[in-house]
Amino acid sequence: MLNFPAPPQRRRRGFLQKSQAPRSRCRRPIGFFVRLLACSFFIGSVPLAADTGLKGLIARLDQIRIPGRDLASELEIRHYPKPAQPPETSAFRLFTRISGEPGRQNIATLMICTAPPRDAGKRILFRDDACWFFDPHAKRPVKISAAQMWSQPMASDSPNWRLAEDFSAESAGREEIVCGDGVTRRCSVIDFVPVSKAMPAPARMRYWVDDSGRYWRVEHFTAGGRLFKTIDNIRYGRVLECERVASMRIRSGPETAEATFSGIEARTSPRAWFEPDGLAQIPP
């Protein structure tokens, strides 16, 4: 079951903060979907960075994470709340639209739920530093701040973050790891810390990047150094003339989720879809 906030008229003590924000009618945090979307779907068609040093690897990571065009895709999520429980499966249509100047573009993303039937038609819009949820039965969207979104256990990345500009980076050497596809690779290990303490991001992120520039693992740490999330990319696929993440796994405490992307295509969706007031006008 999807974890969507309740309509505004039924506002109670919330799942995002104990004293504010609308309460979810389901158990799973909405940030679960944010992480799956942000880390895997935003893959741009870009050339490999020429600089193979630390600066070049970071440039490559930003090129992989940030899309170079408007996109559309299908996403299936299998969520395992606990190891012994059967998975809960959800499906979405995803759309992105890019605006702004080259180098500092903003990416807006729309998620439309298509399954299970009880959640079909519900929509989540991510734009700038905020998120809006729309339930067709509620008639108007509910706004959720970025700070509330990224504080959730399964939320961790944003395509509007620039690792090269918004984070300080330090090499942590090289290490062999068993990647999500079962292959052992020798990777460069890079630690990232937000330049601004006001940024709603993990206190530290660690990336494992192979020699071709693909990242296979990301770990997120609290300010006290506690590991609270691990993301493993399972499979890359050749789509739209470049390699893209096709499948990935997230672990946060007892929860595990797997996401599979398909049908990725270059597509520009109507601008009105990416406005909060336009969510009600999107055709089913």
Task: Tell whether the model's pLDDT for residue 31 goes beyond 90.
Answer: no
User: Longest Cα pair distance anywhere in the chain, in angstroms?
Assistant: 54
The burial of 108, by beta-carbon neighbours within 10 Å (0-12 exposed, 13-18 middle, 19 or more buried), is given as buried
Is pLDDT of 11 > 70?
no
| pLDDT tens digits, one per residue of 105-123 | 788 899 999 999 999 999 9
Q: Between these two residues, 20 and 186, which has the higher pLDDT value?
A: 186
| pLDDT for res 268 | 94
d(CA 152, CA 145): 12
pLDDT 10s digits, 201-228: 889 999 999 988 889 999 999 999 999 8
Residue with tokens 């970071």: 58
29-281, CATH topology level: outer membrane lipoprotein receptor (LolB), chain A (2.50.20)
DSSP string, 137-206: TTSS-EEEEHHHHHTSTT----TT--HHHHEEEEEEEEEEEE-TTS-EEEEEEEEEEESSTTSSS-SEEE
Could you write out the three-class secondary structure of 206-266? EEEECCCCCEEEEEEECCCCCEEEEEEEEEEEEECCEEEEEEEEEEECCEEEEEEEEEEEE
Using one digit for the tens of pLDDT, what is the confidence trace for 143-193? 987 666 665 555 656 766 789 889 999 999 999 999 999 999 999 999 999
Count of C-beta atoms within a 10 Å radius of residue 178: 12
Domain residues of the chain, as ranges?
Answer: 29-281
Residue 7 in this model has a pLDDT that exceeds 70: no
Least confident of 46-50, 142-146, 255-259: 46-50
Lowest mean pLDDT among 7-21, 87-101, 178-192: 7-21
- The answer to whether residues 45 and 69 touch, using CB atoms and an 8 Å cutoff, is yes
For the cut 70, the answer to whether the pLDDT of residue 231 exceeds it is yes
Per-residue confidence (pLDDT) for residue 6, from 0 to 100: 47
* Structure confidence at residue 155 (pLDDT): 61
Q: Are 236 and 214 in contact (CB under 8 A)?
A: yes
**What pLDDT score does 49 carry?**
41
Is the pLDDT at 50 greater than 60? The verdict is: no
Which of 212, 243, 232, 261 lies closest to 43 in space, CA to CA?
Answer: 243
Closest CA relative to residue 63, chosen from 255, 209, 260:
209
